[in-house]
């Protein structure tokens, strides 16, 4: 299972989110494919663009809570003070991807910034 973790500024569009997902998948070596699910933190539950992007590609959007984000913090590659202030995680995109992918997950692509959206890609259980 492949998970695209997302972070974003308020008011982004679903097109922005989808462009970030596509770029993240390309960076992960999975060009031309879509992840099995999208994930973000519960603090983004009201960000319509993420839900709309998931609906457009017919993928579930998983909302990861603070304790689950904190549990994967040691595995994060990116450390951003701005992300920590806004979300409580050093990299919301990486943490959401890893937490949603479950135990043994690994990052295929660390957080990358695409305009006002960040995307990281994780793989469940270390297998494609």
The pLDDT of residue 64: 97
Q: What is the dihedral of CA 41, 7, 59, 36, to 10 degrees?
A: -90
Instruction: Say which DSSP state 80 is in.
Output: -
Alpha-helical runs (H) found in 1-102? 14-27, 48-56, 66-71, 81-87, 92-101
pLDDT in tens, 10-51: 999 999 999 999 999 999 999 999 999 999 999 999 999 999
Q: Which of 104, 115, 97, 101 is nearest to 6 (CA)?
A: 97
Sign of torsion over alpha carbons 50, 52, 58, 61: positive
């Amino acid at each position: 299972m492949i998970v695209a973790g997302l972070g974003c500024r308020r008011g982004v569009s679903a097109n922005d989110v989808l462009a970030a997902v596509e770029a993240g998948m390309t960076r992960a070596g999975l060009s031309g494919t879509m992840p099995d699910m999208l994930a973000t933190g519960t603090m983004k539950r009201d960000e319509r663009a993420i839900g709309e992007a998931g609906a457009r590609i017919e993928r579930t959007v998983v909302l990861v809570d603070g304790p689950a984000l904190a549990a994967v913090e040691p595995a994060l590659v990116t450390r951003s003070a701005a992300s920590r202030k806004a979300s409580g995680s050093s990299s919301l995109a990486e943490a959401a991807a890893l937490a949603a992918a479950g135990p043994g997950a690994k990052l295929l692509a660390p957080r990358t910034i695409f305009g006002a959206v960040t995307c990281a890609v994780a793989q469940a259980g270390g297998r494609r």
